[in-house]
Amino acid sequence: MPRTTAIATRELSKTYKDVKALDNVTLDLEPDRIYGLLGRNGAGKTTLMSILTGQNYADQGTAEIFGHAPFEHDPTLSRICFIRESQKYPDDFKVHQAFESAALFFENWDDDLAQELVEAFALPIKRRIKKLSRGQLSAVGVIIGMASRADITFFDEPYLGLDAVARQIFYDRLVEDFAEYPRTIVLSSHLIDEVANLLEHVIVIDKGQIVIDSDAEELRGTAVTVTGDTAKVQEFIGTAQVLHRDALGALASVTIKANLDADQREQAKLMGLDLSPVSLQQLVVRSALSGSTAQRTEERTEARK
Amino acid sequence: MNRVIKVARMQLINKGTFIGIPLIILGASFLFTLAIWWLVRRNGGDGAMYGGGAQAPMWYFLALGIQSLTLTFPFSMAMSISRRTFYLGTVALFSVCALALSVFYYLMGLLEVATDGWGMGGQFFALQWIADNNWLVQILFYFVLMVLLFMIGFLAATIYMRWRTTGMVAFFICLGVLVLGIIALFTFTNFWDEFWSWALTWTAAGVTLWGGIVALLMAGGSYLTLRKATA
């Protein structure tokens, strides 16, 4: 029996005034996997997540969650949790009141987990949310996202303002909890390396378009950096697609799109060339975002009202 | 449990907002009024005394209408609640609170009459124009007035949530033009005298009826506006 897709979009488009926030986005996300939604600031990540969670709506195309459009559909919405990076809370709410509220609406809410995380993040639960620091505010969102145990959970730049220790706690606890309670997790981030190890599948969005939609493992093998004597490097890479080129005197370091087999690796070794793996971040930056210029990014603003 | 009821419970997580503050406002304005009456009587003032303090909590409802939307709506989106459910839960909760307070006003009015105006001949809850009517009209009058003020705030806030500043500016410019137009029309046609003598014939029941219709229209308008609002 084929498994139902958790998230399916077809030719989704959304325009804010003259800015195309989403441009013909077609995606299929399987249930019970961890997805990374990567891209620069203003690439369309938050807009996409807002539409998938019924908080916003598309101009064109369709978005379905477990086969149903989420917009204004409570039974579907109740399976989703999305705390946005700039989430607003009622002015007079204290931290614990936000959790009480979440406990009302998320059927799988785990209060013990929430308590554990509060301690792990050293969050002052009796403080008013508007008095929290940026990092503490992120922690509130992370705790609601984790403890809700919703079938589909979105984390929107969850690490903002969190210190290194807190970020590690988040990543560790997420993996732990995911192992015990598998669900679909979408992690949006512009800090790619930091979340790279968590991700099973990578979606890269740039200027509202999907530029990479690939299994993380597959993606890691698709590029390699060749370093050595310029002439030899050139000879070795031949006609392979060059993603990036650095030169220093007679030395060259060229990143190519290629999946090398054992013979080719042996040959590189014989030619005195160094082969190094390309990190996910480099790969994304080199291949997907190489076309963006600073000027074009300035024109784009993500809707974060 | 029904999600509409859960929305009401969420709005009540901070009990002060919907229940505590209106009661404090009412209690304070009532005690102030009693103190003023007492001072007036001590200094030999006589005749009937009126106090308008009973309307004090109602103005708070205007702010509550704005607040329950602008502050809680973006959070309700994060709680994965549909706009319809949020709307129903919030309006239902307010209606119940307003109804309870209206009944309370009516009962206090009875007590006021029974104690001969708190022993001082004052009128705070049982203002003649309203208290002359039967119990149903009295309760409905207070109720409609409260809902009307709440809805004004709620509608303004939904317009803001959906169209932001542009919407607010457009809304108030249109409102200004409309009001000015009516004033100009009345002035040019020398209608003012007629208007005021007509206004004096209004009864509490009539105000309740028309106020109720306006409140319903605004409720419908804010619902339609909210349906496509974004957090």
Following DSSP, what letter does each residue of chain B receive, concatenated? --HHHHHHHHHTSSHIIIIIHHHHHHHHHHHHHHHHHHHHHHTT--S-EE--GGGHHHHHHHHHHHHHHHTTHHHHHHTT--HHHHHHHHHHHHHHHHHHHHHHHHHHHHHHHHTTIIIIIEESSS-HHHHTS-HHHHHHHHHHHHHHHHHHHHHHHHHHHHHHHHHHHHHHHHHHHHHHHHHHHHHHTT-HHHHHHHHTT--HHHHHHHHHHHHHHHHHHHHHHHTT---
Mean pLDDT on A35-49:
92
Inside any domain, residue A294? no
A157: tokens are 């730049």
The mean predicted confidence, pLDDT, of chain B is 93
> What is the pLDDT, as a whole number, of residue A181?
96
Inside any domain, residue A283? no
Residues B193-224 pLDDT 10s: 999 999 989 999 999 999 999 999 999 999 99
Domain locations in chain B as residue ranges: 3-226
Inside any domain, residue A49? yes
Inside any domain, residue A286? no
Mean pLDDT on A190-209:
90
> What is the pLDDT, as a whole number, of residue A289?
55
Whether residue A119 lies within 8 A of chain B, CB to CB, comes out as no
Report how many Cβ contacts below 8 Å link chain A to chain B. Answer: 81
State whether A52 and A95 are in the same domain.
yes
Q: Identify from B67, B68, B76, B77 which residue to disrupt to test chain A contact, counting A C-beta atoms within 10 A and taking the largest count.
A: B77
The fraction of chain B above a pLDDT of 90, given in percent, is 80
Chain A contact set for B160 (CB, 8 A): none
Over the Cα atoms of chain B, what is R_g?
20
> What is the pLDDT, as a whole number, of residue A302?
41
Inside any domain, residue A284? no
Nearest CA in chain A to B73: A90
We report the CATH number of the domain holding residue A11 as: 3.40.50.300
Lowest-pLDDT range of A158-172, A274-288, B27-41: A274-288
Instruction: Give the count of beta carbons closer than 10 Å to the beta carbon of residue A2.
Output: 4
Instruction: Give the count of beta carbons closer than 10 Å to the beta carbon of residue B196.
Output: 9
State whether A204 and A238 are in the same domain.
no
Q: Which residues contact residue A125 at a Cβ distance below 8 angstroms, ignoring those fewer than 6 apart?
A: A94, A95, A96, A99, A118
Whether residue A7 lies within 8 A of chain B, CB to CB, comes out as no
* Subunit contact B10:A104, Cβ cutoff 8 A: yes
SS3 A266: helix
State whether A130 and A186 are in the same domain.
yes
> What is the pLDDT, as a whole number, of residue B210?
95
User: What global pTM score does this model have?
Assistant: 0.88
Range of the domain at A264: 221-277
Q: Which residues contact residue A228 at a Cβ distance below 8 angstroms, ignoring those fewer than 6 apart?
A: A236, A251, A252, A271, A272, A273, A274
Nearest CA in chain A to B17: A92
Whether residue B166 lies within 8 A of chain A, CB to CB, comes out as no
Nearest CA in chain A to B84: A72
In angstroms, the separation between the Cα of residue B95 and the nearest Cα of chain A is: 21
Nearest CA in chain B to A141: B78
Model confidence at A61, in pLDDT bands (50, 70, 90)?
A: very high
Using CB atoms, which residue from A87, A100, A303 is nearest to B78?
A87
> What is the pLDDT, as a whole number, of residue A297?
36
Sequence letter at residue B151: M
Whether residue A81 lies within 8 A of chain B, CB to CB, comes out as yes
The fraction of chain B above a pLDDT of 70, given in percent, is 100
Helices (H), chain A: 45-52, 74-77, 95-105, 111-120, 134-148, 164-180, 192-196, 216-220, 230-237, 262-270, 280-283, 294-298
State whether A264 and A233 are in the same domain.
yes
Inside any domain, residue A301? no
> What is the pLDDT, as a whole number, of residue A296?
37
In angstroms, the separation between the Cα of residue B10 and the nearest Cα of chain A is: 6
Chain B contact set for A79 (CB, 8 A): 80
Chain B contact set for A92 (CB, 8 A): 14, 16-17, 71
Q: How many domains would you assign to chain A?
A: 2
Inside any domain, residue A150? yes
Lowest-pLDDT range of A30-39, A48-57, A63-72, B60-69: B60-69
Where is the domain boundary, A218, A236, A255?
A: A218
Chain B contact set for A75 (CB, 8 A): none
* Subunit contact A90:B75, Cβ cutoff 8 A: yes
State whether A148 and A20 are in the same domain.
yes
Q: Identify from A78, A91, A101 which residue to disrupt to test chain B contact, counting B C-beta atoms within 10 A and taking the largest count.
A: A101
Nearest CA in chain A to B87: A72
Is the confidence at residue A146, as pLDDT, over 90?
A: yes
State whether A128 and A73 are in the same domain.
yes
* Subunit contact B227:A72, Cβ cutoff 8 A: yes
State whether A203 and A262 are in the same domain.
no
Inside any domain, residue A117? yes
Using CB atoms, which residue from B75, B81, B83 is nearest to A89?
B75
We report the CATH number of the domain holding residue A267 as: 3.30.70
Whether residue B180 lies within 8 A of chain A, CB to CB, comes out as no
Higher per-residue pLDDT: A294 or A213: A213
Mean pLDDT on A191-203:
90
Mean pLDDT on A272-284:
88
State whether A86 and A166 are in the same domain.
yes
